[in-house]
Amino acid sequence: MLIAMHRLPDDVRDLLRQHDGILLTADARRTGVPRSRLSRLVTAGRLARLIHGAYASADTFADLDDWQRFAMRARAFGLLSAPDGYLTGWACTAIRGFPTLGAPPSLPTVVRPKAAKRWPFSGIGGRVLIADVPEEHRRRGRLPIVSDEWAVVDVARTARLPDALVVADVAVRSGLNLAGVLPHLQRWQGIARARWVVEHAAATVESPLETLGRFAFFEHDLPLPVTNAWVGRDRPEWRLDGLLPWHWWGYEADGALKYDNRADASKIVRAQQEREFRLRRLGLDLLRYGWPDAHPNRGPLENHMRAMFSDHPARAE
């Protein structure tokens, strides 16, 4: 993490660097920095108070986006939670760098065992879920956190389905076994939602925008595509983000990053045009869509998909 702390006193700046950007009151006290001094730095605008007892550089915190701020607050909450508490859900996936859509939750969550003893800081700056997590899904270090697969399934219990599927697609693409978590959560609220997400997560989907496009087929009860399918006349020549093989059309998710601020944007567009020409020569029609078509809702994308199905009835081959 790049930390901009030129306005901070040297000793406090060094402490933040030693503790990966988050300074706890207890760590400061052990090196002779009292809480009152930290409070004065907050008042002066040099430190940002993340939650009670945890601080970050005000400059660094100001440069973060909403999800990065949520992840930093989640880390602070995890560091101050009980020794048997583990960050879970969005707190865990945000820290691990999974893709996120929309606004972050208001508070992070830790999970503690049912037999947990009372902890004085429980619930300050976050939520505490009482449940048992198997040992193989606990990651103990300076920051206690559940396994990635547990966190992804936990997100799927309560998150919007498209948001949860975006995370799950990345998880299965990286080789995580989400299905192995489900038996441990049979009695948890939202398990049916989590089971649906796990069942429909696809390792062949390569971006959040592709996930949202595929979700539109589920959402509107349309025939399902083959994701990242190879097509060609006599051999695999081109790969489409999605293919409707019986309807002879496919789709491509065009994110702005493909073109924005690139010196070779014109070459990319030219290659794309040539590719599309050859695909149409095969008899395939092509639908392109971007973020405005698929997020936050997929109404525009649904209209385009239904038009494609109307123009291309199912064939026998």
Indicate the pTM of the whole model. Answer: 0.89
The length of the chain is 317
Separation of alpha carbons 226 and 241, rounded Å: 8
Query: What SS3 state is found at 163?
Result: helix
Residue 298: C-alpha distances to residues 170, 218, 263 (Å):
20, 11, 31
φ and ψ at 9, to 5 degrees? -60, 150
Separation of alpha carbons 85 and 137, rounded Å: 12
Beta bridge partners of 242: 227, 251
Contact 241, 301 (CB under 8 A): no
Residues 6 or more apart whose CB falls under 8 angstroms from that of 233 comprise: 282
114-118, 120-124, 164-168, 277-281, range with greatest mean pLDDT: 164-168
Query: What SS3 state is found at 172?
Result: helix
* pLDDT tens, position by position, 118-139: 777 666 789 999 999 999 999 9
* pLDDT tens, position by position, 27-61: 999 999 999 999 999 999 999 999 999 999 999 99
